[in-house]
Structure 1
Amino acid sequence: MARLTGFLDRFSRPLKIAIQAGILLVILIAVATVGFIEYSGQPSFCTNCHLMQPYYDSWASSSHNTVKCIQCHYAPGIKAEAMGKLQAANQVVKYITGAYGMKPWAEIEDAACLRSGCHTERALEGVVNYEGVRFDHTHHLGEQRRGKRLRCTSCHSQIVQGSPVQLEGYQIGAAHLRVTAVTCYICHFKDRPVGEPIAGCTGCHDSPPRFRSQAGFVVDHPAYVENMISCVGCHETVTSGSGEAGQRRCFNCHNEPERIAQFENTTLVHRVHIAEHNVECTQCHTPIVHRVVSLTQAFQLDCNSCHQGAHDAQRLMYSGLGGHGTENTPSTMFLARVSCQSCHGLPAEIGEHAQVKLAGEATCMSCHGIRYANILPAWQQEVERRTREVATVLQAARSTLSGAPVRTRATADSLLTLAEDNVSFVERGKGAHNIAYADQLLRAALDLVQRAVDNASLPYSLPKFELGPQLGGNVCLQCHLGIGEQAGRFAGRRFDHTPHVQRADLACTECHTPLDEHGGITLVDRSSCDNCHHRVIDPLNCASCHSGPGGAPTQAITTETGDFTHSVHRARGFECSQCHSAPSMRVAGLSCENCHSFHHQPQRTCLSCHKGDVLRIHPPAAHSGCNLCHGDNAAFITEWTRQVCTVCHADKLEHNAPADCHLCHTMPEPGGG
């Protein structure tokens, strides 16, 4: 006890001072804390962080500029305010340490809006008028709308940093908690038919009164409503934008694969983002703008409002859809996302219509250059030719329908109708929009006719005609359509594509460079053709290129001394290879003497091949063979007999037979020379 008394006597003064200092420090800390809490609760405190200045300016210019930030950003209750202060202190530390983000995020609870002294639930009951639009909070907050629970900030969320944004004449942003009308439009117009928004036009708009326009025309809206005239009958273009939510936008906030995988789960996505975290709709959805356009814009009529489906056939042809017995084959231009207006850019007039836009070679060459000249006309001409030929077959097949058995006549009729639909589709859709698909349709039409013949006993036989090569698998022919009937020049001679493209069905790359080296020729000279030609010499092979029986020309080959006729030699069994040698197939070095001997009668056998005036140009030496008998002495003749003379003078075979010729005719001595 004595020790304690001594200790107190000795340290009583310093102890009192320490206790008093501690109490004073606690009081100072409490006062400082209260002061800091009060000061930090002032809107001006927020501007200590430079990135908050735009939000402060937005608040200062809004209808809530008399309400402190914490009254909205902190939900009512000590716990919520304490958590808010801790989060705010955390933000201050991040700002001081430089670990803050440049895009602050805040979530405002409905309870903060509905706190005492602000927007009580009773005050939200009933219909209000916002810029001419009727609105009832009860319908939007009391129950789910389109399967989604809305929050106050779903519509009152316009807290956009910086200056107002102009979207197609509509202002978005720069006002704290102003009504975000875009949210209304996304809910009411997204995925809805034209003129049928959620709740209809009159669900939000009162019927305008009867008035007289500036042009003196009376606009009687009440009468229109009474007569159930649709609003879009006059106010057609009142929305723009789709309100789509692209998956890319998810990456603005998330990068976890498991969250991105929930993109298609719209119920979960809306519950988490709207009901739980008050995320603005426009953070995910593209805006939809709703307004009545000016008369100038509205007066640009949409042809589809009257001429519905006028271009459906062309649209389907371009996209490669809608045929019978064909696969979907979109045009390469369609796959490249080339719009109709890209090709239809030439002004023209049709009848009494205003100016329209047509397609022509000029629009092709404006993108592809001069090398695309004549391609469009070739497409049009070839498609018309093929369509005309197939239509002729269909007409002939249809005329035989009455001769089909009664039990299969309906089947045949159905097949022919499908074939006619294909041909009509090509005609109406203009096959030049998608020539590969048009070719498929026409070939499918012929197949349908053949099915009617095979399966429904249609008494008709399809004629054989050349429709041309298939276009689907040959990218070259999709531009150079009709090249199979055209000829060109190669190595100084005419080159005909017909036997190569249509008959032999050769690929273009057999002679031409591939597409990436468009326009080149791989052949060096005529000898390059020998890689394909003249490898096998027989009538069937020759006939694949050369016209005539067995590939032998029907017309005589004209020469100076006489005409050579292939048919005579072919009739006697001569093969092409007996005169023509691979690979050049020339007949150089050969002559008639290889087969024809001198022992014949000039007036009878010579003139069967040689021209009539051949004697004029025939050298005497050519008749040296006659001197064997008619010279000064008959060389190599040992005895004159009738058989010796008739070797040449066959026309005298019956003359004075069987007497020998030397009995009447003077003969040279045999065995001379």
Structure 2
Amino acid sequence: MFNPFNLLDKLIKWYSEKVSRKAKIITAIAFLSFLIGVGLVGYKINDYFEHDPAACMFCHVHDDANKAWAKSKHNVVNCHECHHSTKKDQVVQLYRFAVLGQKKVEPRHGKIIVPWKLCVNCHWETNAKYPEARKINRSRYHAKHMFTEQVECAKCHGYKIHQFLPEERFCNTCHKDKQVHGTGMEKLPCLNCHTDRTKDLRPGRKKCLFCHGEEAVRKELIADGAIDVKFFQPSSATVKKAIKIKVPADAPMQFNCYECHKPHEAVRPDWGNCLNCHVNIPNVGKHGLHVKSMGMKCKECHKPHSWRVTNESAKKECVKCHEYREPRKFIGS
């Protein structure tokens, strides 16, 4: 019966007794060189598939992704620094291409192929290899969505392959009920209004005044460099079209615009809503006569954003209905 161990024993005995010392040295050097050569070739092959973007293009199965990557901000980043796969996955992919003839990558099926833990390597801490990567460690947008809501980065950045800057109305993919109603605001990018400057991401007064205010406000916000203004700055046409308002420094009700304006709900404020806060006003002075009996709207006397009825404004507005009377007498007898 054939015994491989006997054969091996004979081979070793022959090599030790019959082969000269010089031949043994040459054989050992040749064998060692062979091992080194195999190791180098293996290393080069592994390095190619692990670190060379050309390896991803070898199979020709995702040309669209390659083209988008080449045009993106990440075109200096190696594919494998973001896309990690196991050796098993790589073998399966190679088998599908070489044996099964698969020419296209399967759809993502909603999978997150780049987890947030990889993104923060460059966009949270400073990465010596990519020092120019924009940091998000002071961004309230990312604090809310990434840490509080645990939304994966790729849900907003890269939901279209290798397109990392979100589209203008990308928020609606999740916030489907937050459509905008308004004269000219319907198609505005979400971040034309929502800002990284406030804790709740809602538009602060100055963000509204970027379009509706003076040039000084625009310069201030641009210099501040918040994400919303840096990447989603309202166009000059939008700014020009917006109705300009002035809010006197001594005007009452110095609060956020959205307390009255609800752009996700209505085109303009319903001035009857003033009574939601000013509940007792109909019982004060002659408000009952004007509001209840005559059906007048608050803004007919109280001009938006200045609000206070002064002697000067009364001489212009009140006389449209009756002779001039001092505003203070409106309250008292």
In the superposition, the TM-score normalised over structure 1's length comes to 0.25
Q: Which has the higher contact order (CA 8 A, sep 6+)?
A: 2
Q: Of Structure 1 and Structure 2, which has the larger fraction of its residues in strand?
A: 1
Structure number, greater radius of gyration: 1
